[in-house]
């Protein structure tokens, strides 16, 4: 069977048959000036409420609208692991959010840790990176991005959701994370990775003292960059 790739765009607007949905200036610019799309070309539009629709492009001056033609898939909540992580410098955070979204992350919990070097985040930028990744990979919903909070506060929120914590500690050599991935439901876990420079001893002690559903594990013999560690852990639960 021949596969023909179609551009996908995310919209928070309600989607329905014959409905014409205007796109944002940024989306219009991409379709017109990057992808060089023309009127009546095929496109896909989606969100986590209305599902995924085949559509046609309509162009008026520099603004693009799409007309919903036929529903392809019903709305479906993304089920996957959550991620507690320390914010990184802009380019590396962009990469982390994009790739973690591709790996099926359900929720992001950016956390201030002892060795966190970046103390502020741009949630809109995080969300835009997540949207781009969802458009590329076929996801129907965008992962939830929590506000930046202190590490212990994010852990408590996840604990209230009855999550099992996969604590990826660079100082451990065993057990390996891959020993657990087949025995856990991805939607029930939260993966915890440290900042550049690793976890502080007080952060390890906090987990060991306060968290009941805790699995401490190693990612293997190498010491990875923070964003690489997150992606290795997530890929095992893909």
The candidate with the shortest Cα–Cα distance to 169, out of 148, 190, 209, 200, is 200
The answer to whether the beta carbons of residues 199 and 169 sit under 8 Å apart is yes
Q: 47: domain CATH number?
A: 2.40.240.20
Q: What is the dihedral of CA 198, 237, 94, 118, to 10 degrees?
A: -20
Give yes or no: residues 106 and 218 share one domain: yes
Q: How far apart are CA 17 and CA 211, in angstroms?
A: 49
Residues 24-43 pLDDT 10s: 998 999 999 999 999 999 99
Tokens 């990612």 locate to 219
Structure confidence at residue 2 as a pLDDT band (50, 70, 90)? very low
Between 77 and 110, the more confident residue is 110
Q: How far is CA 156 from CA 90, 119, 161, 190, 213, in A?
A: 27, 20, 9, 12, 12
Give yes or no: residues 25 and 137 share one domain: no
Structure confidence at residue 224 as a pLDDT band (50, 70, 90)? confident
Q: What percent of the chain has pLDDT over 90?
A: 74
Tokens 């529903």 locate to 71
Instruction: Please give the tally of structural domains in the chain.
Output: 2
What are φ and ψ of residue 199, in 5° steps? -70, 145
Give yes or no: residues 104 and 137 share one domain: yes
Residue 2 lies in a domain: no
Structure-block tokens of residue 57 = 């492009």
Domain that holds residue 29: 8-73
Q: Judging by beta carbons within 10 Å of its beta carbon (0-12, 13-18, 19+), is residue 223 exposed, middle or buried? A: exposed
pLDDT value for 145:
97
Report the b/e string of 84-104 with b at 16+ CB within 10 A: bbbbbeeebbbebbbbbbbbb
Give yes or no: residues 24 and 114 share one domain: no
Give yes or no: residues 108 and 208 share one domain: yes
DSSP state of 69: E
pLDDT value for 120:
94
Give yes or no: residues 65 and 91 share one domain: no
Give yes or no: residues 35 and 103 share one domain: no
From 73, 91, 107, the end of a domain falls on 73
Q: 142: domain CATH number?
A: 3.40.1280.10
């Amino acid at each position: 069977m021949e596969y023909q790739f179609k551009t996908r765009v995310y919209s928070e607007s309600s989607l329905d048959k014959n409905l014409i949905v205007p796109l944002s200036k940024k989306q219009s610019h991409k379709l017109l000036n990057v992808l060089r799309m023309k009127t009546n070309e095929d496109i896909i539009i989606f969100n986590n409420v209305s599902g995924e629709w085949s559509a046609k492009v309509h162009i008026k001056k520099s603004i693009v609208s799409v007309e919903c033609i036929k529903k392809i898939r019903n709305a479906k909540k993304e089920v996957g692991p959550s991620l507690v992580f320390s914010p990184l410098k802009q380019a590396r955070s962009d990469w982390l959010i994009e790739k973690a979204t591709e790996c099926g992350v359900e929720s992001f919990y950016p956390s201030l840790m002892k060795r966190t070097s970046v103390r502020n985040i741009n949630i809109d930028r995080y969300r835009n990176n997540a949207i781009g990744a969802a458009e590329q990979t076929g996801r129907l919903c965008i992962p939830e991005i929590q506000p930046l909070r202190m590490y212990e506060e994010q852990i408590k929120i996840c604990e209230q959701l009855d999550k099992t914590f996969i604590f990826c500690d660079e100082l451990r050599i065993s057990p390996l994370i891959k020993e657990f991935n087949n025995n856990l439901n991805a939607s029930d876990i939260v993966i915890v990775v440290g900042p550049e420079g690793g976890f502080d001893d007080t952060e390890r002690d906090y987990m060991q003292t306060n968290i009941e559903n805790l699995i401490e594990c190693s990612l293997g013999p190498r010491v990875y960059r923070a964003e690489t560690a997150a992606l290795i852990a997530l890929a095992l639960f893909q």
